[in-house]
Amino acid sequence: MATATMTQRILIIEDEPDITEVLKYNLEKNHYQVSTAGTGEAGLAAARENPPDLLLLDLMLPGMDGLEVCRRLREDPRTRDLFIIMLTAKGTEADVVVGLTLGADDYIVKPFSTSELMARIKAVLRRSEARDGEAGAKDLLRCGPVVIDLQKHEVTVGGEKLELTLSEFKLLSFLMRKKGRVFTRDQLLDAVVGPDVFVTARNIDVHVAALRKKLGKLGAWIVTVRGVGYRFEES
């Protein structure tokens, strides 16, 4: 059960002391090493000085807001690959979309339960380990019975070959490679047809619908995130 990994470090950028306190308490109880910052400016400085394994970033901060912090972290080579989970308020889907476009890895809506947050954190950190261990296993993507052979451009489900269009193939491999992460329609469009082709973001919905149909029961693994986009998740 216990794996000999180093203690993972999490930085919290949040201006509400009560929330920071609760987060810190729960994270430490789960054996993470925690540091905190109460403003965007302080958080940015802390992240640059000593990049954490994961950043919990409140979007609504006085002064420099979370989106700006995210933007600056992504511009800086020292912090470009940092894993970021945004903490957002209800009804701020537009900010979430911007945040994901800026490169945040996931988001969680306040008020959230501790168990929900821990699950998200573990999922993101697992992805970071997978990313580190990715080299050498680039030709095959697996998720349950779904296997994608990137060389042969072939998808099988339980050994049965699926006939997919090129767009469907690209969409599925993109989502599976970044399993668990939410993408906006525009991001998926860039991944599937490239930024220079003029089609509307709603085209993604059409591709997703077709792909779900071909995947049958497993189509439910392409999850609609309301007001935001899609994510791939084994369920």
Among 22, 60, 64, 162, binds Ca ion (CB under 5 A): 60
Interaction of residue 95 with Ca ion, rule CB under 5 A: no
Q: Which is nearer to Ca ion, 60 or 125 (CB)?
A: 60
Binding segment for Ca ion among 12-20, 134-142, 153-161, 211-219 (CB under 5 A)? 12-20
Binding segment for Ca ion among 41-49, 52-60, 138-146, 162-170 (CB under 5 A)? 52-60
Among 44, 47, 58, 208, binds Ca ion (CB under 5 A): 58
Interaction of residue 109 with Ca ion, rule CB under 5 A: no
Please report how close the Cβ of residue 11 comes to Ca ion at its closest, in angstroms.
Answer: 15
Provide the strand spans (E) within 73-221: 83-88, 106-109, 140-143, 146-149, 154-157, 160-162, 183-184
Among 9, 15, 35, 179, binds Ca ion (CB under 5 A): 15
Task: Classify 12 as helix, strand or coil.
Answer: strand
- In 3D space, the residue among 40, 38, 92, 96 whose CA is nearest the CA of residue 64 turns out to be 40
Please report how close the Cβ of residue 200 comes to Ca ion at its closest, in angstroms.
Answer: 34
Interaction of residue 53 with Ca ion, rule CB under 5 A: no
- The Cα 230–Cα 141 span in angstroms is 19
Residues sharing a CB contact under 8 Å with residue 41, sequence separation 6 or more, in sequence order: 63, 64
Residue 113, φ and ψ in degrees, nearest 5:
-85, 155
- The Cα 46–Cα 43 span in angstroms is 5
Residues binding Ca ion (CB under 5 A): 15, 58, 60
